[in-house]
Amino acid sequence: MITLKDVLCATGGILKQGHASSFSGISTDSRHIKKGELFIPIIGDRFDGHKFIAAAVKKGASASLASRKIKVPGNIALISVKDTLKAFHQIARSYRERFKIPLIGVTGSSGKTTTKDMLASILSMSGKTLKTDENYNNEIGVPKTLLMLNNTYKYAVIEMAMQGLGEIRELARMSRPNIAVITNIGSAHMEHLKSLDNVAKAKSEILKFQGGKDVAILPADDKYFDHLKKKSKGKVISFGIDSPADVKATTIRYEGDRASFVIVTRTYQIAVNFPLPGKHNIYDALAAAASAYALGIAPSKIKRGLEKFKLSSKRLNIIYSKNIRIIDDTYNANPDSMAASLSILENYPPRRIAVLGDMFELGSIARKSHENIGKLAANLNIEELITVGNLSKFTAKSAKSAGLSNVYMTRSNTEALRILKKMIRQNDTVLVKGSRGMHLEEIVDRLKKHA
């Protein structure tokens, strides 16, 4: 429960009218607010939540924050603050400090959601675990998740995303992770950050508020490992495959839709029959296992958590539809994850078809990144390539230049699907991947009905 006193103390706000001793919850969405909740009107680029205070009151809100003068209906409690978003963060930070349970923060250029889900799967073997849901990994979602904490939880796993410098710093300030995981440093968000050095700087912000007793889980195979290690104030546990690491994978074998490997630590080894293919997924499993290792979780529970793990929707979801295999990886894309998915596709028998959409937020490296994916598709012996979008035309042209003969450039999902339906044969494997804004899940959904 959060009281009026809690809110005033956390935010330094001033009660302008009314009174409410406590709140049943906190909401930033007037459409879904419940009776007795505190409404926080967020101001965005295209909206001002202050316009919806009246609607929130009608729905049952008992109080609202406000960062400007405003008349509100009834005698609800109105709390004046300088910045409603900052106040939301202050409330969440204050609330998080009530709980002494281990909180693990996860960030990285790719693999953070998968790592978060794998770790939650492992930790749930030992106790109730709160984890970031859906896309609640930003300045609105993280405080919402933190405010879901209660005394029934034994662990919390919080995913942290960003577009620019300073954003993860704020999420870490709120969350105060005892264990901070950085999965990797890659070229996602180059449109905003301009360089890999800046990406590394932004991701390392998760370590900012850690102390000497806290732990950083870092990727030994990443070229920024030493840079990240220097940023840590506490203990560092490394994970990797190719480099020396505290938590390492050996004896890796890929078997169709699955993989097997052995996790080697200083104190034990774990043989894992993994429900996913791909080296990048093994890296994510190692990051999760290293976090569990730092917490002293039993090897048997690490093994069981990884082997029972299931990916979130549209993330390398392998669908068998009649006589074809569809690899639905449409949740999002960047150069690293696109290359990883293509490498997985190569493991399947011919014919292999790749349907690739644009990758966004790459800035000045957008054209080169798409060209590199085209070359990779040709080198991996993908039999058919269909591209969707304006940027992916560079993927198509590059693939043709590199020797891939069956390449089709399209500008819409409908056009791509029409070509795909004509070419598809029995036992084909089709990978569909692109940035979220391309909505390539439309192709998957319609392909399942067609197959």
Residues contacting 318, CB < 8 A, separation 6+: 257, 325, 326, 327, 328
Nearest to 416 by CA among 440, 448, 399: 440
Residue 312 has pLDDT above 80, yes or no: no
Query: Which residues partner with 385 through β-bridges?
Result: 354, 407
* Digit-coded pLDDT (tens) for 85-138: 999 999 999 999 999 999 999 999 999 999 999 999 999 999 999 999 978 999
* Digit-coded pLDDT (tens) for 125-139: 999 999 999 789 999
Helix H or strand E segment including 107: strand 103-107
Domain 99-307: CATH architecture, name and number where available = 3-Layer(aba) Sandwich (3.40)
Please, where in the chain does CATH 3.40.1390.10 lie?
2-83
Nearest to 105 by CA among 25, 181, 47: 181
72: its two tokens: 């509100």
DSSP 367-409: HHHHHHHHHHHHHTT-SEEEEESSTHHHHHHHHHHTT---EEE
Given pLDDT bands bounded at 50, 70 and 90, which one contains residue 449? Answer: confident
Please, where in the chain does CATH 3.40.1190.10 lie?
99-307
Helix H or strand E segment including 285: helix 279-294
pTM (predicted TM-score): 0.90
Quick check: bond before 315 cis, omega within 30?
Answer: no
| The pLDDT value given to residue 74 | 73
174: its two tokens: 């709120």
Average model confidence (pLDDT) for the chain?
94
Pairing of strands 26-27, 384-388: unpaired
Domain 317-450: CATH architecture, name and number where available = Alpha-Beta Complex (3.90)
For residue 364, give the DSSP letter.
Answer: G
* Of the options 2.40.50.140, 3.40.1390.10, 1.10.540.10, 3.40.1350.10, the CATH number for the domain spanning 2-83: 3.40.1390.10
Rounded distance, CA 238 to CA 296, Å? 15
| The pLDDT value given to residue 450 | 64
Please, where in the chain does CATH 3.90.190.20 lie?
317-450
Contact present, 370 and 394 (Cβ < 8 Å): yes
Rounded distance, CA 158 to CA 116, Å? 7
Rounded distance, CA 362 to CA 63, Å? 42
Radius of gyration of the chain (CA): 24
Nearest to 353 by CA among 334, 381, 330: 381
309: its two tokens: 């793990």
Query: CA-CA distances (angstroms) from residue 228 to 201, 202, 247, 281?
Result: 8, 11, 17, 21
Contact present, 431 and 352 (Cβ < 8 Å): yes
* Digit-coded pLDDT (tens) for 24-51: 999 999 999 999 999 999 998 888 999 9
* Digit-coded pLDDT (tens) for 357-405: 999 999 999 999 999 999 999 999 899 999 999 999 999 999 999 999 9
| The pLDDT value given to residue 257 | 85
| The pLDDT value given to residue 381 | 83
pLDDT, mean of residues 154-172: 96
Contact present, 290 and 266 (Cβ < 8 Å): no
DSSP 402-435: TT---EEEESSHHHHHHHHHHH--TT-EEEEE--
Query: CA-CA distances (angstroms) from residue 243 to 66, 79, 250, 279?
Result: 52, 54, 11, 14
* Digit-coded pLDDT (tens) for 243-281: 999 999 999 999 878 999 999 999 999 999 999 989 999
Tokens 């905003």, residue located: 192
Rounded distance, CA 279 to CA 110, Å? 13
Rounded distance, CA 446 to CA 431, Å? 14
Tell me whether residue 424 is exposed, middle or buried, using C-beta atoms within 10 angstroms of its C-beta: 0 to 12, 13 to 18, 19 or more: middle
Pairing of strands 352-357, 258-264: unpaired
Residue 175 has pLDDT above 90, yes or no: yes
Residue 451 has pLDDT above 60, yes or no: no
